[in-house]
Chain A
């Protein structure tokens, strides 16, 4: 999984140009839609909606295919696993204790699509929105500054700490026995990571101390909300996109809870 800062794809697309707050609203709508359905058809419509947005963002096919490959594996696992638990619906196959029903298959596909939707929607957000825009939208949405700044630091220092970790791992490898290849070697390597604890804790503590000094020296005050340097503006296209997203989620909520509850949500037992 690439790091977040590596995920952003620079493009001049309608989705890139959207106000990040509208994209977050869309993301929320997608999450609601995906969460309230478990059947294959409604879940596939949500997935198609996200694919449509990804296509409008002109995201690189190579990267999307890499992601799609992982998602297909996950959907296959869901389709194989869920029929074992779903007992409702007409029986398609029966052998000893194993009973596979049509509902089991539909739910398997539905849950697979649901998880795929959530992952793909997150990827679309990170591939079309800079971290800075995301952070600034959190600020304008009045999320507490403690949380916002902690997110900034987390995003900023992930690569630094990974760099530290890699340097420690390299230093350790220079003085370690050969651990060979294969699964046993992997387990040995994981156990060997115990020795990384001392240097990584030492380095992190040092970095944290220096960071707090640097923050204080720049007049950082967690009680104070800073002037947002990045100006977020909402245009008609943003309003239209937001309206469509809200309409979509409203229709889904109505179908799920009022109009077609059985088609949208299959009872497992």
Chain B
């Protein structure tokens, strides 16, 4: 099949950076291919996408060497309008910055209007594109009020309407819940199959990518470090893991089986998808006459809690736009207590009320009905500042909370308002920097640091206030696996040193790995609240909340005669297999 994208010896350096971002990149993409691009933050993935769409060199300036040929046209020798948007279209990471119409219809029709297509053709393509992304009937909706997943699908439709031969998507699902993520990937795959469109996707999450991609490219330090089919990239001993690419959990189980010399399970091999893993494991299990026997999942331990809660919500309601025509009940009668040393994850699909609930704990939002008590004090009569010494809130986007031009001043910003002595202030800043591992950064400008470091500074600036409860809203969005685990290990360490932690995330692997307790929200209500294992072993209720447990838990639940349904990690699954190979696990899970 013909190559629709050809990149030869591509090097690029931005005007304001010293080092090259791309170094001698060579890549060919065939017509109709689904190519996944992975790699750590700063590897040059987005820059490569900008080169493919021709935005480099036409919109973004810098030093470019080598050539990019898209649909037979050398991008540097043609104007942008020669190949955009009919030949190549790009969907950016943040849907907010690419939806500039006053309604969905206008956004999707935008490129077509500038192409000068007749009105009837625009109408036809508009309906078609909205239908492909399953947003029929959304034509007159204002983009600002759509959910994250819906916005991303509008962004895809707006590019798709021009029927580009190549569709480039830069982390299109980073802010979506697992179900929304799956929806976007299925929509992209449908487009590829139906219209023979070439797809290039940059993505950190490999579980969906390996399912759909024909070929994967792993980038590192501006170069293509690995290239091949998914099973080649994730074969045992592959360089992918050392480059910060996290394989799917079912693949990791294969690595672990091999590393621990469990030759009796060698048949499992290195699967990439849950279906593959299930079939192989089932074959191997059926050969052995071993089953799990009777077991019971631990009941959630919350009923037994006797210690005084740090935060207590009683019949908490929150209604946005109360008293107006646009009333929206975001929380509907929540009863919940957070205790000292809790490590709680709030999970739920976009718009389920997680952030609204958390913002009540430090008084950012006041209850419309019911009450929230923080250390016995009603938040209705306390200001955010008064509660800030008790509850620290770390926002999703670190850029929203950086007010100073040096790291030292940034961390000192909160404690300075507590009227501490100069020495006390200095001690608090150093202590917070030590906690997040950023000693020596005091004089640097936080805005020029990487996202992971800015996120750590945001956490440190809250830690310096010495709160008893730390709330972290989406701490891992858009991070590669290595940065993400560093951040979560830091939060875990804070919890172990006595601080209660509430974190909000869509990443179920992170939840299973770190949280001791999960609160599941759906439509403004808490529908599950219990220990991590117990919550993840309630698939029916999770399904209702449109939540999918981690892949390894799903695998265990599909093989429920052999595995415990509350298997949370690859290590747990491997341990079960070890016990099964000893002739049954009745002893292993005696509860």
Contacts and interface: CB of A to CB of B under 8 A. Distances in A.
Report, as a range, how many residues of chain A touch the other chain.
Answer: 35 or more
Contact of B94 (A132, A210, A220): A210
Interface string A154-191: 01110110011001101111111111000000000000
A216 B59 contact: yes
Interface string B118-143: 11001100100000000000000011
B210 interface: no
B197 to A, nearest CB: 16
Interface stretch (B4-12, B173-181, B188-196, B381-389): B381-389
B397 A167 contact: yes
B399 interface: yes
Given A132-B102, A174-B364, A214-B98, A221 B114 contact: yes
A94 interface: no
A217 B85 contact: yes
B111 A198 contact: no
B55 to A, nearest CB: 6
Interface string B141-176: 011100000000000001100100000000000000
Contact count band on B: 35 or more
Contacts of A202: 399, 402, 447
A96 B118 CA distance: 74
B84 interface: yes
Interface stretch (A43-51, A111-119, A222-230): A222-230
Nearest to A224: B114
Contacts of B117: 227
B53 interface: yes
B417 A175 contact: yes
Contact of B114 (A168, A172, A218): A218
Nearest to A180: B383
A198 B397 contact: no
A227 B116 contact: yes
B320 to A, nearest CB: 12
A27 B35 CA distance: 55
A207 interface: yes
A217 B111 CA distance: 9
Nearest to B392: A174
A202 B405 CA distance: 12
A174 B99 CA distance: 31
B92 A219 contact: no
B106 interface: yes
B43 interface: no
Contacts of A164: 400
A216 B97 CA distance: 12
The residue among B114, B142, B417 with the most chain A CB atoms within 10 A of its own CB is B114
A160 B105 CA distance: 19
Contacts of B110: 218, 220, 226
Interface in B547-577: none
A260 interface: no
A200 B25 CA distance: 36
A193 to B, nearest CB: 11
A12 interface: no
Interface string A204-216: 0011001111111
Contacts, number: 177
A72 B170 CA distance: 53
Contacts of B94: 210
A220 B90 CA distance: 14
Contact of B84 (A157, A171, A216, A227): A216
Contacts of A141: none
A199 B119 contact: no
A175 B388 contact: yes
A167 to B, nearest CB: 5
B388 A213 contact: no
Interface in B363-405: 364, 383-386, 388, 392-393, 395, 397, 399-405
Given A199-B402, A227-B119, A211 B102 contact: no
A196 interface: yes
Contacts of B357: none
B102 A156 contact: yes
A58 interface: no
Contacts of B80: 216, 219
Interface in B441-491: 447, 461-462, 465
A211 B144 CA distance: 15
Contacts of A152: 100-102
A98 interface: no
B115 interface: yes
B103 A171 contact: no
Contacts of A87: none
Interface of A: 5-6, 60, 130-132, 135, 152-153, 155-157, 159-160, 163-164, 167-168, 170-179, 195-196, 198-199, 202-203, 206-207, 210-221, 224, 226-229, 231
9 contacts: A156-B101, A168-B400, A168-B401, A174-B362, A176-B417, A177-B417, A211-B100, A218-B84, A219-B115
Interface of B: 50, 53, 55, 58-60, 80-81, 84-85, 89-90, 92, 94, 96-103, 105-106, 109-119, 122-123, 126, 142-144, 158-159, 162, 325-326, 359, 362, 364, 383-386, 388, 392-393, 395, 397, 399-405, 413-414, 417-419, 447, 461-462, 465
Given A173-B385, A175-B413, A202-B402, 20 more contacts: A132-B103, A152-B101, A167-B397, A167-B400, A170-B359, A170-B395, A171-B395, A174-B364, A175-B462, A179-B385, A199-B401, A211-B97, A212-B59, A214-B100, A216-B84, A217-B92, A219-B84, A226-B110, A227-B118, A229-B106
The 9 closest A-B pairs by CB, nearest first: A175-B414, A226-B113, A210-B97, A214-B98, A171-B401, A178-B385, A177-B417, A218-B111, A195-B403
